[in-house]
Each structure stands twice: as structure tokens, then as C-alpha cells.
Chains A and B, each alone.
Chain A
Amino acid sequence: MSAPPGKARFSKAVYARPRSLVDVKSHFCPGCHHGTIHKIVAECIDRYGLREKTIGVACVGCSVFLYDYIDVDVVESPHGRAPAVATGVKRAQPDKFVFTYQGDGDLAAIGTSEIIHAANRGENLSVIFVNNTTYGMTGGQMAPTTMLGQKTSTTPYGRDFRGDGYPIRMAELLAGLEGTAYSARVAVSTPAQIRKSKEAVRKAFEMQINGMGLSIVEFLSTCPTNWGMKPLDAQKRVLGEMSEYFPLGVFKERVQADFA
């Protein structure tokens, strides 16, 4: 009898599930990026030993299920209000690590006021922003980030700037505010992108650890189900037209806190 596969051939573990990621089956659709992004967040929480001092803020949409997957305290926020809820947590517990996890409908439509003013106050928070250009949980309606021409259930003929306006670039918009410490846009459609995005989340978390102000990482993400695409085609869309309109990169990186 041979040993079970994986036991005999390797003498030491080189990879393990992050401590902060709950060991459960994912309920997300095939090809959805939430699982990948959760793992990146969990790895970065572990890296800085933050798990036991973290309070996450979940918002409304598919992203609300954060609390089923990340093994930290989580408070649920009304739609779009996560930066305000996070402000309330952080002001009450400045020694804790606080992050929000928000979708594009949440952060870039109903929650624009809350994110802009949290950033403008320089709230010492980290924001994980998942942009998949649609409202996933409600069945694929037009989001503020929906691309021009993109067909959704509420833009059945494609998004038309005459009437629907333009897809909004939040990472750039927030980079323009004095209180923003860090703003970057990343994607997770290739292994190299995943490594880069982890670096961005690490930077964002370090900003909070060092008291620099609000940090945000925007993830270009897929929604194969509502896009009506196969997972691989969805990856191609991120790498293609989405990355062209929503360029990847770091738009702001503060080197010194305002009060230092």
C-alpha cells in the first residue's frame, strides 16, 4: 500500500489555508472573484497578526457574506453606509483594525456620500472595493460602473451615456481627496495580478497600521452569472475592455501622515 497522496512525497507544508479564512465551501458562483479576494484579505490580516483585533464591516449585496468566510468580528451595515459604520467602530476603538468590504453598487452609487466623506476626513480605515460592473445579488442590473454599451437587466439595449451617464472611476476620484492615504486599482485574473493585488492590500493595511488615513483597493472582478459569460470569458473581459476603461495602478500613496 502506498501512502496517501501528498503525504509521502512532501516533507514540509509549503502552503496552508490562511488562519483568517474559514474552512467552508464557497457558495459563490463559478468564476466569481469574491473567493480570491477574500483569501487575499485573509492572508494580509494574518501577515500583520490582525485577526484578533479586526472588526470587518460587511455591506449589502453579494459582498455581505464576508462574515461567512473571514474569521473575524463583523458588523453588517446598511446599503452603502459601511464607511460611516466603520467610522463609528474606529472612533470607538482606535486601537482596532477596521476594514469595509463593499461592492460597486454599494460604494459607487448609494454610498458615494459616505465613502467620499470618510475619505475626506482621513478616517483611518481600509476599504476593499469589489467592482464587477453590475448588481450581482439582485440579478444583474446596471451599476454605476457598468460599461458603456454593456447590457444589463435594466439597460437591455446597452448602457447609453445619454441618460445613463458614464461608468464612474472611484479609485481615481478618491485619490483626489486630501484625506485619502492610498488608492489603487488591481485585478485578480492572472497569478501575476493576484500577487500584485496582495501587495496593494498589504500597502492599504500598512497605511491604517501607521495611522495615515483612508486606504482603498479597488478590485476589478467578474460576475459570469450576470454577465452571461463562461468564467474564462469573464476573465478575458476583465483583462480586456474593463482594464482599458478602469486602468490598473496606484493613484495615491501617502508617505507621511498629515499630523506627523
Chain B
Amino acid sequence: MSALAAPPSKRLLKGNEAICLGAVAAGCRHYYGYPITPQNDIPEYMAAHLPALGGTFLQAESEVATINMMLGTSASGKRVMTSSSGPGISLMQEGLSYMAGSELPAVIVNISRSGPGLGGIAPSQGDYFQAVKGGGHGGYRLIVLAPHSVQEMYALTMLAFDLADKYRTPAMILGDAIVGQMKEPFVASPYDPASTVEKPWALTGCAGRERLNVKSLHLKDNEIEVHNWRLHEKYERIRKDETRAEPYMLDGATIAIVAFGTAARVGKTAIQWARKEGIAAGMLRPITLFPFPRREVFELARKVDVLLVIEMNTGQMVEDVRQSTPLHDRIAFLGKPCAMPTPEEILERIRLLAGRKV
């Protein structure tokens, strides 16, 4: 049954399926991918639905081929997406560097699992560094969006396409096995693009114009230096204009959780419980991991007693939190590598930090 044909009423939907609906709503008709747990719902959905929409689903021979097929489709001016998990995303790093260098938009979904190596299929946020610090060679950034609900898997996928096109750069959805596999009530809101972007750079054949190249090789004079500064200026513009974070119950908060994705979702429950006990807890949830909400963290750190950073790893985003504020003694960390923290253990830490007996 086509989920597309369903009326826009509330229904139960998986996070991975919400990504597909968002992509299709945003006009993505080209998907390339390679099987890997825990994201197989996405290629399976695309295989079932894209052909009927006049699009392309292609199961590539590897993630290396996948990202390069995306490069070709993106250079053609078309919206294109893939999804994978840690080991597959690693194989895509070469192509991501080329796409960043060639300034090609695309959306890459990482429903991350445990690592390093083959790791495991348990949910993890261990790919944070890889996602936000570049990942491949040569110095570049991806726009990284971190959904924490099924509804947001949908909305942020649409946003990812818009931002990728606007800035001519690959954008990543950094999810995890929980937010990908869980089902929640969902309403398909209409796609409302922030702006439509022309693609005069697309390679469509040189009829009526000079020939165009899409490339990342710059050998002449100081072309590559100029290119690097231009990319840097673009990333600075993204930092300035596209940073997104959700403040949650921060009014009067003395303890503020900083967490993204599934960790943030669980943290919200712990905050509600803490508030019931009279502890003024709240949360700042980065929605964009690059650009990281530095200013928001800086200002929040001055207002609260404690920033409790929670991650499903041994501490990666916490480095960006430290970089955002000089008040390092206010930063506490709760790490759960390759596992979901429970609201109980978060509440216990909140109580400790509040000086309560546990």
C-alpha cells in the first residue's frame, strides 16, 4: 500500500519511513543505496515507490558507487538522496569530499549504529565527529541535522534538501537506530520550500551556452587557495544564518541538558520528572550539529549552574560545548556509548547535580 496515497491525517509511522515521505515531498526522485542495518526500510520504501513517480531507485554495488552515482545525478541538477549507517557512511567519505569540493548538493541519511569497525547494530551517536568535522579529506563541512522524533525526520529531510541546494553542499541527516526504527503519531505537513534555487551550474548539455565543468581539481596559480577561502566563507554564512536549536523548559532552569537526537528525546522525559520533584531542569537541543549552536550554548552557560551534556558515545559533542563557553567547570557529561540512556539514569544524574539525595 502506498503511504503516499494516504490522507494527511494522523497515523503511526516509522522514523525511516518519515524520511522517505519527506524526501519524496521535497521532490527527490533519485535514490541510490546499499543495504545495511538499521536503515533498510528506506531503500525498501524507495524501491517500492520511486519508479511509479518516474524516478530512479538503484541498489549500487557499494557505498563507494552510491555516493558517486549521487555525484552524477546532483551534477545533473536533480535532487538525490542516499541512506546508510556507520560503515557505509565511512565508504562514502571520498565522494562526500569530492561533492563538497565540487559544490554539489545532496542529502545523506546516517541511521547510525555502534562502532568502531563493524561495531554492532545498537543505536549510537558515535558518528558525531565524522559528521560534523568533515569526515573526508581536505577540509570541508557538511550541514548536519539531528532529528529527535518521527515528525522531525520528515521535516528535517525536507529542510536538508533546501539547505543543500541553497548552499550547494551535501547535507546529512544524523539519526540513529532508535529514531529510525521507532513508530510515532505522524502528520504529513505540506512541503513549503524556504526558497526555490535555480541551478545554472547543472550539466545538461551545452545547447545554447558555453560548456560547463563540475570539478574539484584546481591546479592553476592559487585557484585552490581561493577556492578554500570561498568554501570557508560559505561555511561561515551557514553558521550565521542556519543554526537551529530548540530550547525546552529553560525558564528559570538551573540545570540544562545539552543533547541531540534520541538522547535529547529521553532527556525530555527526565526533565519532566525532575520538574515534578521541584528541580528546575531544562534543555537546549541542537537541531543543527553543524552549524553548532555556539552562541546559544555560550549564553545558556552564563545563566545556569550546570550544563549536563548527554551523548550516546563517550564524549564528542561535549567538545563543541566546551568550545562554546569558557565556563568549563559548569559542564557535566553523561555518556552511554552504543546504548540509549534511560530517563531514570538521567533523572538520577540530575538529582545528584541538584544536590539531592538519591
State the A residues within 8 Å of B (CB).
Answer: 51-55, 57-58, 64, 67, 71-78, 81, 84-93, 96-97, 113-114, 116-117
Chain A residues contacting B75 (CB-CB under 8 Å) are 55, 75, 85, 88-89
Q: In whole angstroms, how far apart are the Cα atoms of A97 and B206 in the complex?
A: 12
Q: In whole angstroms, how far apart are the Cα atoms of A202 and B62 in the complex?
A: 32
Is A84's CB under 8 angstroms from B69's CB?
Answer: yes
Q: In whole angstroms, how far apart are the Cα atoms of A114 and B71 in the complex?
A: 14
Is A87's CB under 8 angstroms from B207's CB?
Answer: no
What is the CB-to-nearest-CB distance from B137 to chain A, in angstroms, rounded to a whole number? 11
The answer to whether residues A92 and B212 also contact, given A81-B64, A85-B71, A114-B68 and a CB cut-off of 8 A, is no
A-B CB contact pairs (8 Å), 29 listed: A52-B206, A55-B76, A67-B213, A73-B211, A73-B212, A73-B213, A75-B71, A75-B213, A75-B214, A76-B102, A76-B217, A77-B98, A78-B71, A81-B68, A85-B68, A85-B72, A86-B72, A87-B69, A87-B72, A89-B72, A89-B76, A91-B30, A91-B58, A92-B76, A92-B78, A92-B80, A93-B204, A96-B204, A96-B205
Using A52-B208, A75-B72, A84-B64 as known contacts, list a sample of 6 further A-B pairs with CB atoms less than 8 Å apart, ordered by residue number in A: A55-B76, A55-B203, A73-B206, A74-B203, A74-B213, A81-B64
Is A57's CB under 8 angstroms from B72's CB?
Answer: yes
Q: In whole angstroms, how far apart are the Cα atoms of A81 and B64 in the complex?
A: 8
Cβ-based interface call for B236 (8 A): no
Cβ-based interface call for B94 (8 A): yes
Q: Mark B59-92, 1 if CB is under 8 A from A, else 0.
A: 0111011101111111111101000000000000
Nearest first, the 7 A-B pairs at minimum CB distance are A88-B72, A76-B215, A84-B68, A52-B207, A88-B69, A92-B76, A117-B61
The listed residue (B32, B98, B203, B216) touching A73 by CB distance below 8 A is B203
What is the CB-to-nearest-CB distance from A189 to chain B, in angstroms, rounded to a whole number? 30
Is B95's CB under 8 angstroms from A81's CB?
Answer: yes
What is the CB-to-nearest-CB distance from B229 to chain A, in angstroms, rounded to a whole number? 21
Closest partner residue, chain B, to A88 (CB atom): B72
Q: Is the interface of B mostly helix, strand, loop or mixed?
A: mixed
What is the CB-to-nearest-CB distance from B31 to chain A, in angstroms, rounded to a whole number? 10
The answer to whether residues A92 and B211 also contact, given A52-B206, A75-B72, A77-B68 and a CB cut-off of 8 A, is no
What is the CB-to-nearest-CB distance from A137 to chain B, in angstroms, rounded to a whole number? 11
The answer to whether residues A64 and B217 also contact, given A73-B204, A87-B58 and a CB cut-off of 8 A, is yes
The answer to whether residues A54 and B205 also contact, given A73-B213, A74-B213, A91-B58 and a CB cut-off of 8 A, is yes
Chain A residues contacting B68 (CB-CB under 8 Å) are 77-78, 81, 84-85, 88, 114
The answer to whether residues A71 and B69 also contact, given A55-B76, A81-B64, A92-B76 and a CB cut-off of 8 A, is no
The answer to whether residues A76 and B70 also contact, given A87-B58, A93-B76, A117-B65 and a CB cut-off of 8 A, is no
Choose among B68, B76, B204, B217 the residue with the greatest number of A CB atoms under 10 Å from its CB.
B68
Cβ-based interface call for B56 (8 A): yes
What is the CB-to-nearest-CB distance from B136 to chain A, in angstroms, rounded to a whole number? 10
What is the CB-to-nearest-CB distance from A172 to chain B, in angstroms, rounded to a whole number? 21
> What's the A-B contact tally at a CB cutoff of 8 Å?
133
Chain A residues contacting B70 (CB-CB under 8 Å) are 88
Chain A residues contacting B95 (CB-CB under 8 Å) are 78, 81
Is A76's CB under 8 angstroms from B214's CB?
Answer: yes
Q: In whole angstroms, how far apart are the Cα atoms of A102 and B215 in the complex?
A: 16
Is B102's CB under 8 angstroms from A84's CB?
Answer: no
Q: Mark B207-243, 1 if CB is under 8 A from A, else 0.
A: 1100111111100000000000000000000000000
Q: In whole angstroms, how far apart are the Cα atoms of A86 and B78 in the complex?
A: 14
Is A75's CB under 8 angstroms from B206's CB?
Answer: no
Closest partner residue, chain A, to B62 (CB atom): A113
Q: Mark B19-62, 1 if CB is under 8 A from A, else 0.
A: 00000000000101000000000000000000000001010111
Q: In whole angstroms, how far apart are the Cα atoms of A75 and B77 in the complex?
A: 12
Is A88's CB under 8 angstroms from B74's CB?
Answer: yes
Chain B residues contacting A97 (CB-CB under 8 Å) are 205
What is the CB-to-nearest-CB distance from A192 to chain B, in angstroms, rounded to a whole number? 32
Q: Mark B136-172, 1 if CB is under 8 A from A, else 0.
A: 0000000000000000000000000000000000000
Chain A residues contacting B69 (CB-CB under 8 Å) are 84-85, 87-88, 91
Q: In whole angstroms, how far apart are the Cα atoms of A54 and B207 in the complex?
A: 9
Closest partner residue, chain B, to A91 (CB atom): B56
Is A88's CB under 8 angstroms from B204's CB?
Answer: no
Choose among A73, A90, A113 the residue with the greatest number of B CB atoms under 10 Å from its CB.
A73
Chain A residues contacting B98 (CB-CB under 8 Å) are 76-78
Q: In whole angstroms, how far apart are the Cα atoms of A184 and B213 in the complex?
A: 29
What is the CB-to-nearest-CB distance from A110 to chain B, in angstroms, rounded to a whole number? 10
Is B205's CB under 8 angstroms from A113's CB?
Answer: no
Closest partner residue, chain B, to A120 (CB atom): B61
Q: In whole angstroms, how far apart are the Cα atoms of A84 and B74 in the complex?
A: 13
Is B61's CB under 8 angstroms from A113's CB?
Answer: yes
Q: In whole angstroms, how far apart are the Cα atoms of A72 and B203 in the complex?
A: 9
Is A75's CB under 8 angstroms from B203's CB?
Answer: yes
Q: In whole angstroms, how far apart are the Cα atoms of A92 and B74 in the complex?
A: 9
Choose among A74, A90, A97 the residue with the greatest number of B CB atoms under 10 Å from its CB.
A74
The listed residue (A57, A71, A86, A113) touching B211 by CB distance below 8 A is A71
Q: Mark B338-357, 1 if CB is under 8 A from A, else 0.
A: 00000000000000000000
Q: In whole angstroms, how far apart are the Cα atoms of A73 and B73 in the complex?
A: 14
Chain B residues contacting A76 (CB-CB under 8 Å) are 98, 102, 213-217
